[in-house]
Each structure stands twice: as structure tokens, then as C-alpha cells.
Amino acid sequence: MERVLVICDDLWHPAEVVEKGLEARKDGRFIFDVVKAAKDILTPERIACYRVIVCCKSNSVIAANTAPWFEEGVTEVGPAEFESYIRAGGGFIALHSGLAYGEGSSPAYNALVGSRFITHPPRCTVRLHVDEPEHPIAEGIGDFTIRDEHYALEMICDDADVFLTSSSEKGGVQPAGYTRLVGDGRLCALTPGHTLDVWENESFIRLLTNAMEWCLKER
């Protein structure tokens, strides 16, 4: 089984949702090592032990501490270290709150993931549309509907392959899933994932599985 590092827990996205969501998976393909206090736990050597990292964490230390997670001179693993990890062949998935980095939050992280968070309307019905059925991450996934926060992103790179879009009454049409090649590694961004119901949705489970396998270069 493949060990996957999962980084989570911030003010608006408690780790419990991610942890219970991971428990809902029954495939036995992956073992998940969940880290909450990333600022005090992660080192370049530690992340190098994993072939895939899933980041479900905005820029706060933990849910009870809104100080920035990325703090120059203090944090051992930040955007630069993540980029080095990916360029060396690692896989990185920025999932939901792992994309909630708005203007000024962390420009270096925005540059790495290739997008900037703008806003989201109140939780609502969100329709996910597969724009590129031939994309490896889209295999076995059709259009599906969830109730979730509908993220609006500003794309700030020109090399993103957007294979999934989302739409809602108040949020319009937004990128919901895209990939980038970074050096010898791979990066995937997925916007759904605020509620446990989403994590337990069969289409979302397949989406995340495909994304991890793609990052492992198995797709």
C-alpha cells in the first residue's frame, strides 16, 4: 500500500472532516498519514519520504491558531520546499482549502499551484462537469452534483490543463480540477471538499483516487 501525506486543519476547515472522509474510503490502496501542526512537524526530509502529498490546509497554523503557517525563517517546509519536492518527482494535490490562498496570503504558494482564491458564495448546489473525458483523472467519472462551497479561482498560469469545471447559480462557471507538470513531478488542484458528504460521494472518492494515481505516474 502507498503511504500518502495529508496536511489539513485550519480555522474554517477542521481536520475532522478530512479524517472522517478518509475513513470512508474502502479500497485499501492507500495509507494516510494526517498532519495538522505542519509548521512544527514537516521538514524537507520528512516530506521526501512520500511520493504524494495532499494539502487540504489554508495558511493558518491549526484551527485554533490563525497565525500564518508559512512564516519565513520559521517554517521549514513552505512553497519553495514544496516546489523542490515536486520538481524532484513528487506528486502534490491541492484540495479545497489547499487552494484557499487569496491575494496577499502567500504569493509564492499561488505561483506554485497556479491559481489564486477569490471567493465563494454560501454553501449551495454545485454541478461538476467533466470537460476532458479523456484526461486520466476523469476516467470513470461523469458529471455529478454536490452541495458544497463553490470556489472561484483566478488562474495565474498558462500551463494548466483544466479537465473539470464547476457551476452554481451564484458562482457562475469556475475551474474545479486542473493539472500541471512541474519539473519531474506532477501537481493536481481540486476545488470540492468542504463537507463530509462530499468526501463520501462516490464520484469524489474516484476523483481523488485517480488524482493520487496520476500523481504517482500510474495514469
Q: pLDDT tens for residues 16-50?
A: 999 999 998 877 889 999 999 998 899 999 999 99
Angstrom CA distances, 95 to 11, 43, 45, 73, stand at 16, 21, 23, 26
Q: pLDDT tens for residues 160-215?
A: 999 999 999 999 999 999 999 999 999 999 999 999 999 999 999 999 999 999 99
Extended strands (E) in 9-148: 30-35, 52-56, 91-95, 115-119, 124-130, 144-148
Domain that holds residue 157: 2-215
Local confidence band at 64 (pLDDT 50, 70, 90 cut-offs): confident
Q: Taking 80 as the threshold, does the pLDDT of residue 139 lie above it?
A: yes
Q: Angle at Cα 182 formed by Cα 176 and Cα 186, nearest 5°? A: 60
CA dihedral 117, 119, 125, 127 (to 10 degrees): -40
pTM flag (> 0.95): yes
Using a pLDDT cut of 70, give the percent of the chain over it: 100
Higher pLDDT, 95 or 105: 95
Q: Taking 90 as the threshold, does the pLDDT of residue 75 lie above it?
A: no
Cβ count within 10 A of residue 158: 6
Coil, helix or strand for 2?
A: strand
pLDDT at 155: 98
Give the integer Cα–Cα distance in Å for 57 and 55: 6
Cβ count within 10 A of residue 38: 22
Backbone Cα Rg of the chain: 16
Domain at 100, CATH number: 3.40.50.880
What is the arithmetic mean of pLDDT over 112-120? Answer: 97
Cβ count within 10 A of residue 21: 24
φ, ψ dihedrals at 50, nearest 5°: -115, 145
Cβ count within 10 A of residue 156: 13
Q: Taking 80 as the threshold, does the pLDDT of residue 80 lie above it?
A: yes
pLDDT at 62: 86
pLDDT at 71: 78
Coil, helix or strand for 110?
A: helix
The total domain count for the chain is 1
Q: Taking 80 as the threshold, does the pLDDT of residue 55 lie above it?
A: yes
Q: Taking 80 as the threshold, does the pLDDT of residue 72 lie above it?
A: no
pLDDT at 185: 98
The mean pLDDT of the chain is 95
Which cell goes with 50?
Answer: 512520500
